[in-house]
């Protein structure tokens, strides 16, 4: 049979950015309102609070959903969920600079999982977050304590990322403690080494900046500049304008601290100012004006200094940044006093004092609120513990009553046996009792075997159903939004055609739920409809080819596979391979070939490759794990087995050309390794 090729052009444009954000929030709200699974509700509330924070910035909503997750987790009594919910609420407080409220939440999250059998990722994450919040709250000893806990776990797990995070945090905390600067440098060096092993240029840049600042603080200015020179090259290579601006700022700090070349310090601050202004970072722009004013004052250019401080003060007032208002008001008061303008000096001093008092009052209110929140959590936990204690007492009382009844029955039996009692009858009674006991044991064993068989069958069905439910809810929402858009634009025939394809796809998904296997032809038809539906979600072109060599449609009908075996691989190829790709022509090829008695299926894309997808490997590993488990269940009862593996396509220079997924069906196939890297 010759090659059969299907070509689809994905050219239907929909405004994706706003639809994707609103659809994600809508889907999470729908899940929260309709799910009967409490754990699922808690996870949805956590994700919803973070999504609202990043898109809508509605503090009342984000705090409301985060608090709901905490209370729901407490009611459920799930330790890990409680820790995740508290850590999430702490992060929201930290994002809004309410560090006093964030600290006890992160600490409590860590304490809940510290000695529990959970993924080490969680105690590392919660301890690092406790360290960050404590450091920003100026509780430096406490910050170092939790960073050290995170570092110990990270070293045990050989987790370079968290080793770098914890070591950098330790360095920053210790650098602010008198007499521990050298120790801080050692941790910065450890963090830098970990980031170099990870080839993470952003992490390397952060630690070069920290080490340079350390040398400036101990007056080793040349050493600091050597690190800043290296940092500048890294940021220029990354084309990171913010990083370059920060480097110029710290060059300025270095020259200002040394005091030998104030003109050079001024040039560095001016270069940083231009970049921060282009990035519309008004807080950093205000700080640069303040630094330039200080240099002008040191150079006795009082009027220039006054002008710069006034501009910085005006910006600080616009930003409502109380600390910057205090700093600039104080120095302007000193200048006014030098100029004998005592009335203005008094006004400036009063302004500075008012905002300093306001800062202290805000801190006190936050501290009081944090203490009340911690008290409420402890009270809630005490109530839960008390309820559990009452439950234990009630169970103990019930067991006592049961034991009393059992003793009464034994006495009654003894009296009956004594009255009726003949030795022969007693012996016969005991014999019958043993026979009954053995019979019950036999029946229980048989029942356990039967339940185990039922459980394994149900597990197979549940695994297949669970993988089927992995269908991205965004896909369903966007399909429905596409139909809505077609109707609103008056393209009714296209809307009917799209809706027909969508309904057939969904019906086939639901019908396959009743089966443990479907034909390979049915699976390929499902993939065809899926790709056709996906085309309306992007405004890019995609060439999709399906080829069959040495195999007929009758052959395909006779080949059994687990339902939705190919769909997750196709979805990953489109979303994580082709969509991020900058290639003008995006190709997705699916070939089915017969090799003797075996079948070989190859899915090839010319996307960005797996190594360029990003740092989050959870999605890949979880999808691969689910697929392996489904195939393992399928292989238990089938003569023909299934295996799969990945091939990373690269050119001679090591540049990614795409990804292949190779699936084999046959009697003697063996599982291929997941990380099967091939250079082509």
CA–CA gap between residue 605 and residue 409 (Å, rounded):
75
Mean pLDDT across the chain, nearest whole number? Answer: 80
Lowest mean pLDDT among 55-69, 79-93, 237-251: 55-69
> Does pLDDT of 489 surpass 50?
yes
Query: H or E stretch including 547?
Result: strand 542-549
pLDDT (mean) for 91-99: 84
> Does pLDDT of 100 surpass 50?
yes
CA–CA gap between residue 478 and residue 20 (Å, rounded):
8
> Does pLDDT of 446 surpass 90?
no
> Does pLDDT of 1 surpass 70?
no
Contact 659, 602 (CB under 8 A): no
Confidence of residue 418 (pLDDT cuts 50, 70, 90): confident
Q: Which residue has the higher pLDDT, 321 or 659?
A: 659
Q: Of 193, 191, 194, 253, nearest to 224 (Cα)?
A: 253
pLDDT (mean) for 270-277: 94
Q: Of 531, 479, 527, nearest to 14 (Cα)?
A: 479
Six-digit token pair at 382?
């005490």
Helix, strand, coil abundance in the chain, percent, nearest 5: 75, 10, 20
DSSP string, 141-154: HHHHHHHHHHHHHH
Angle at 620 between CA 617 and CA 625, to 5 degrees: 120
pLDDT (mean) for 105-128: 90
pLDDT of residue 456: 54
pLDDT of residue 364: 46
Q: Which residue has the higher pLDDT, 627 or 190?
A: 190
Contact 81, 39 (CB under 8 A): yes
pLDDT of residue 585: 84
Query: Which of the listed ranges 316-325, 458-467, 646-655 does the model predict with the highest average pLDDT?
Result: 646-655
pLDDT (mean) for 535-551: 77
Give the chain's count of helices (H) and strands (E).
Answer: 24, 7
18-28 residue pLDDT tens: 446 677 888 88
pLDDT of residue 261: 92
CA–CA gap between residue 231 and residue 247 (Å, rounded):
7
Six-digit token pair at 430?
């005991």
pLDDT of residue 257: 92
560, β-bridge pairs: 519
Cβ-based burial of 53 (10 A; exposed 0-12, middle 13-18, buried ≥19):
buried
Show the DSSP H helices in 612-680 as ranges: 618-637
Give the pairing type, strands 586-595 and 598-605. antiparallel
> Does pLDDT of 199 surpass 50?
yes
Q: Of 656, 651, 471, 444, nearest to 572 (Cα)?
A: 471
Say how many C-beta atoms besides its own lie within 10 A of residue 596's C-beta. Answer: 8
CA–CA gap between residue 276 and residue 271 (Å, rounded):
9
Cβ partners under 8 Å of residue 609, min gap 6: 577, 648, 649, 650, 656, 657, 658, 659
Six-digit token pair at 327?
């700093």
Query: H or E stretch including 586?
Result: strand 586-595
Six-digit token pair at 547?
């080829």
551-584 residue pLDDT tens: 888 888 888 888 888 888 888 888 888 888 888 8
- End-to-end alpha-carbon separation of the chain, Å? 29
> Does pLDDT of 115 surpass 60?
yes
pLDDT of residue 250: 94
pLDDT of residue 389: 54
Contact 526, 505 (CB under 8 A): yes
DSSP string, 592-628: EEEETTEEEEEEEE-SS-GGGS-S--HHHHHHHHHHH
Say how many C-beta atoms besides its own lie within 10 A of residue 44's C-beta. Answer: 23
595-651 residue pLDDT tens: 888 899 999 998 898 877 654 444 454 566 777 777 887 887 778 889 988 899 998
């Amino acid at each position: 049979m010759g090659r059969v090729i299907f070509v689809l052009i994905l050219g239907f444009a929909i405004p994706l950015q706003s639809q994707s954000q609103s659809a994600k929030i809508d889907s999470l709200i729908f899940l929260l309102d309709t799910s009967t699974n409490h754990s699922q509700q808690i996870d949805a509330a956590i994700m919803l609070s973070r999504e609202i924070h990043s898109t809508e910035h509605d503090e009342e909503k984000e705090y409301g959903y985060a608090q709901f997750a905490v209370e729901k987790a407490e009611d459920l009594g799930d330790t890990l969920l409680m820790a995740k919910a508290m850590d999430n609420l702490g992060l929201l407080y930290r994002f809004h600079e309410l560090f006093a409220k964030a600290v006890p939440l992160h600490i409590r999250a860590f304490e809940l999982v510290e000695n529990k059998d959970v993924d080490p990722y969680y105690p590392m994450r919660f301890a690092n977050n406790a360290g960050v919040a404590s450091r920003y709250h100026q509780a430096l000893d406490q910050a170092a304590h939790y960073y050290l806990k995170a570092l110990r776990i990270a070293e045990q797990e050989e987790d370079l990322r968290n080793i770098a995070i914890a070591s950098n945090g330790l360095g920053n905390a210790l650098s602010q403690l008198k007499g521990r600067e050298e120790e801080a440098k050692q941790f910065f060096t450890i963090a830098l080494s970990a980031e170099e092993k990870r080839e993470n240029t952003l992490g390397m840049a952060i630690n070069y900046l920290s080490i340079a600042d350390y040398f400036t603080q101990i007056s080793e200015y040349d050493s600091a500049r050597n690190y800043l020179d290296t940092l500048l090259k890294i940021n220029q290579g990354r084309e990171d304008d913010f990083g370059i601006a920060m480097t110029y700022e710290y060059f300025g700090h270095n020259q200002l601290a040394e005091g030998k070349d104030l003109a050079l310090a001024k040039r560095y601050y001016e270069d940083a100012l231009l970049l921060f202004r282009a990035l519309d970072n008004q807080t950093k722009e205000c700080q640069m004006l303040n630094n330039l004013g200080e240099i002008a004052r040191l150079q006795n250019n009082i009027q220039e200094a006054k002008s710069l401080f006034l501009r910085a003060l005006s910006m600080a007032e616009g930003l409502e940044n109380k600390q910057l208002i205090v700093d600039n008001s104080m120095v302007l008061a000193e200048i006014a006093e030098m100029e004998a303008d005592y009335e203005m000096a008094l006004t400036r001093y009063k302004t500075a004092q008012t905002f300093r008092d306001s800062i202290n009052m805000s801190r006190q209110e936050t501290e009081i609120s944090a203490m009340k929140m911690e008290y409420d959590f402890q009270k809630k936990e005490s109530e839960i513990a008390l309820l559990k204690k009452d439950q234990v007492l009630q169970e103990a009382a019930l067991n006592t009553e049961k034991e009393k009844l059992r003793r009464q029955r034994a006495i009654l039996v003894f009296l009956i046996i004594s009255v009726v009692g003949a030795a022969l009858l007693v012996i016969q009674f005991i014999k019958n009792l043993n026979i009954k006991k053995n019979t019950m044991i036999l029946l229980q064993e048989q029942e356990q075997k039967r339940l185990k068989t039922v459980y394994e069958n149900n597990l197979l069905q549940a695994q297949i159903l669970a993988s089927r439910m992995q269908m991205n809810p965004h896909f369903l929402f966007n399909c429905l939004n596409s139909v809505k858009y077609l109707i609103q634009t008056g393209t009714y025939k296209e809307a009917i055609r799209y809706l027909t394809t969508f309904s057939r796809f969904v019906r086939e998904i639901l019908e396959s739920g009743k089966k443990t296997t479907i034909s390979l032809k049915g699976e390929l038809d499902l993939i065809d409809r899926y790709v056709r539906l996906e085309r309306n979600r992007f405004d890019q072109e995609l060439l999709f080819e399906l080829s069959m060599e040495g195999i007929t449609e009758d052959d395909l009908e006779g080949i059994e596979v687990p339902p939705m075996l190919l769909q997750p691989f196709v979805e990953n190829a489109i979303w994580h391979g082709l969509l991020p790709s900058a290639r003008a022509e995006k190709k997705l090829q699916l070939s089915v070939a017969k090799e003797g008695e075996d079948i070989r299926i190859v899915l090839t894309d010319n996307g960005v490759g797996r190594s360029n997808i990003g740092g989050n490997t959870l999605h890949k590993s979880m999808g691969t794990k689910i697929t392996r488990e489904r195939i393992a269940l399928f292989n238990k009862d089938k003569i023909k087995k299934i295996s799969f593996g990945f091939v990373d396509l690269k050119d001679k220079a090591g540049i990614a050309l795409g990804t292949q997924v190779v699936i084999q069906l046959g009697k003697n196939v063996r599982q291929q390794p997941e990380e099967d890297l091939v250079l082509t």
